[in-house]
Amino acid sequence: MIIEILKSKIHRVKVTQAELNYVGSITIDEDLLDAANIIPNEKVAIVNNNNGARFETYVIKGERGSGMVCLNGAAARLAQVGDICIIISYCQMPFEEAKQYQPLLVFPDENNRLIK
């Protein structure tokens, strides 16, 4: 049996931009992507802690060290600049392997930068 489980998450990032007139996606600082083992074009779920919205999109790599978390296209209607969100990636694996898997959890600071 194959199940879908949490692969990684970036917990409580602040939305820095919302660009409605763009062709969809979320742009995320490359440092955050590396820390969470998320790659460009990967499907992610977004949870907006401010308004309860939950939605899916794909990732675009943002400038390293910028702290950027920008919702693009239709997703820009689901959050405002300053909203706090959780970015979640999932993976599929065999049930027995999933029992042992430990997801990567990233907790950036209030400026979306990695805590060292």
Q: What is the pLDDT of residues 51-72, one digit of tens each?
A: 999 999 999 999 999 999 999 9
Please identify which of the residues 58, 66, 89, 90 carries the catalytic annotation: 58
Of the options 3.40.50.12170, 3.40.50.300, 3.40.50.2300, 2.40.40.20, the CATH number for the domain spanning 2-95: 2.40.40.20
Task: Write out the H or E segment, with its range, that includes residue 97.
Answer: helix 95-100
For this structure, is 101 an active site residue? no
Global pTM? Answer: 0.95
For this structure, is 25 an active site residue? yes
Please identify which of the residues 8, 25, 66, 89 carries the catalytic annotation: 25
Domain spans, the chain: 2-95
Phi and psi angles of residue 98, each rounded to the nearest 5 degrees, phi first: -60, -30
Burial 17-29 (b: 16+ CB within 10 A, else e): ebeeebeebbbbb
pLDDT tens for each residue of 72-105? 999 999 999 999 999 999 999 999 999 999 999 9
